[in-house]
Amino acid sequence: MAENEMRRRLMMESARDLEVDLGNVGMDDQPEPVDDFEEDQQEFDWNRCLHDQMFVFQEHELERILDIVITNMTPQRSPAQKPVPANMIFLSARYAHYHSSHELLERLLVSAMDCINDVVEKCQWDMTILAFWISNATLLLHYLKKDPGLFEATAEFQAQLAELINEIFILIVRDAERRLDKVLDVAMLEHETIPGFEDITFQNEWKLFKRKTQVKEEPLEKRFRPPSPKQRAKPAPRNVTSLLSSTLFVLDLYDIHSVITAQIISQLIYWIGAELFNRIMSNRKYLARTKAMQIRMNISILEDWARTNNRQSEHFEGGEMRASGDTTMDAARRHLAPVIQLLQWLQCFSSLNGDDMEALIITLQQLKRLSPQQLIHPVNHYRPEVGEKGLPKSAMKYLVNLQKEAALKRERRRSGIPSPQKSGQDSTPATP
């Protein structure tokens, strides 16, 4: 009961977050009983085309068949219905190839591809439709590669299928990014997880409207009490993680291959990390110590989501028994590292001592995903609080030297000139 309730809640959230028809996420579907007859069926013979392992049709029936299994097919979540398009196209292709003519096979595949492209184009903002068709396209490609005769006869169609899968992949990612973009600023950059930072004053920033009366400070127990329903309704990091969960749920619902699912989630996490990084760097409002603390707390909720939904894609190479590829946590760790290190830099550089260059070097060694230019930019545009110092001049000089050294290395690489390096010395600029 608890599992069914959780699944139903995920369906409701997915329908809300992705703005899709409840029917498409299977709200009304009932689990199908196991048919004893199905269990007794003989194993599919991939090397021979048996009479009960193909779909016989006449050429004049083709348009009506494709209308039923492609154009007018409404995705549901029942196991028997999900692979119907792939199964029908494959079994029809077997009949056309082994018992009819190459012309009929070609017409079947060309017409089927046209119909699928039309549906995908028409429903490019409906993630359930896209998930349904990327699932069927990958399944059909698997079928064609496994059947020896069709593998050779449908090489061009297989290439088109691979392109279609890639296009649908991009559409799913683009749709999810579009929805994430609507809430990213307010949920991740503006949301204040830590209370008490509202009245912090920054240097050289005047408040035009001052309060006439001093507001009494809230008691500690009131400040840290659970958020009210009104506060919970405001955009927060959970809006971002909810969209990720809804996307993951729909991909699982239509049995998308784990490698494709992992790539989609990895791409979305990469996009979130890159967007947050660029938006922080391009808006001086976020280049402040306290703002960096708030945003870092919000990103930690995204890290928690990756930990809770950690997966390993079922990808095996070279006969290996262990799956290869990043887990969800690996992807989050790698893609969020630049923005996390930027936030760490914003929180610590103003406290560095100009005389302690060793502390600066140790700090920079922990920020390896940031280039010298990316370290200098937030220092130059930093919003210091009243009484807060900036980066010492000696430390800034060291960063400028690092930037010049990096630019020189890039220029030498472009010119094909090897970098000069003295024996027994590394290429790190000397401490000024």
- Closest by CA to 74, choosing from 34, 33, 20, is 20
pLDDT band at 390, cuts 50/70/90? confident
> Long-range CB contacts (< 8 A, 24+ apart) of 103-111?
104/59, 105/153, 105/154, 107/59, 107/62, 108/62, 109/154, 109/157, 111/62, 111/63, 111/66
DSSP at 420: P
**Which tokens belong to 67?**
């209308």
Spell out the alpha helix ranges (H) of 255-371: 258-282, 289-308, 328-348, 357-365
Task: Count Cβ atoms below 10 Å from residue 426 Cβ, excluding itself.
Answer: 7
Q: Which of 30-34, 71-75, 138-142, 179-183 has the lowest mean pLDDT?
A: 30-34
The C-alpha R_g of the chain, in whole angstroms, comes to 29
pLDDT band at 203, cuts 50/70/90? confident
What tens digit of pLDDT does each residue of 303-323 get? 999 999 998 887 655 555 566
d(C-alpha 281, C-alpha 288), whole Å:
11
130 half-sphere exposure, CB direction, 13 A CA radius: 27
Q: Once rounded to an integer, what is the mean pLDDT over residues 380-405? A: 87
pLDDT of amino acid 198:
65
d(C-alpha 374, C-alpha 338), whole Å:
10
421 half-sphere exposure, CB direction, 13 A CA radius: 11
| Residue 32: pLDDT over 60 | no
Question: Could you give phi then psi for residue 31, rounded to 5 degrees?
Answer: -55, 140
pLDDT of amino acid 315:
64
SS3 state at 327? strand
d(C-alpha 432, C-alpha 310), whole Å:
45
d(C-alpha 313, C-alpha 328), whole Å:
9
d(C-alpha 335, C-alpha 266), whole Å:
8
pLDDT band at 3, cuts 50/70/90? low
d(C-alpha 267, C-alpha 275), whole Å:
12
Place of tokens 């000139």: 417
| Residue 302: pLDDT over 60 | yes
Q: Once rounded to an integer, what is the mean pLDDT over residues 294-301? A: 96
Strand partners, 327: 312
pLDDT band at 10, cuts 50/70/90? low
Residue type, 202: F
| Residue 423: pLDDT over 60 | no
Q: Average per-residue pLDDT in the chain?
A: 84
What tens digit of pLDDT does each residue of 275-284 get? 999 999 999 9
SS3 state at 31? coil
d(C-alpha 419, C-alpha 412), whole Å:
7
Of residues 414 and 223, which shows the higher confidence score? 414
pLDDT band at 8, cuts 50/70/90? low
DSSP at 217: P
| Residue 4: pLDDT over 60 | yes
pLDDT of amino acid 264:
97
Q: Which of 10-24, 143-157, 301-315, 342-356 has the highest mean pLDDT?
A: 143-157
Task: Count Cβ atoms below 10 Å from residue 303 Cβ, excluding itself.
Answer: 15
325: alpha, beta or left, given left = phi > 0 and alpha = psi -120 to 50?
Answer: left
pLDDT of amino acid 235:
84
Find out whether 116 and 164 touch, Cβ atoms under 8 Å. yes
143 burial (CB, 10 Å; 0-12 / 13-18 / 19+) is: buried
- Closest by CA to 176, choosing from 253, 87, 271, is 271
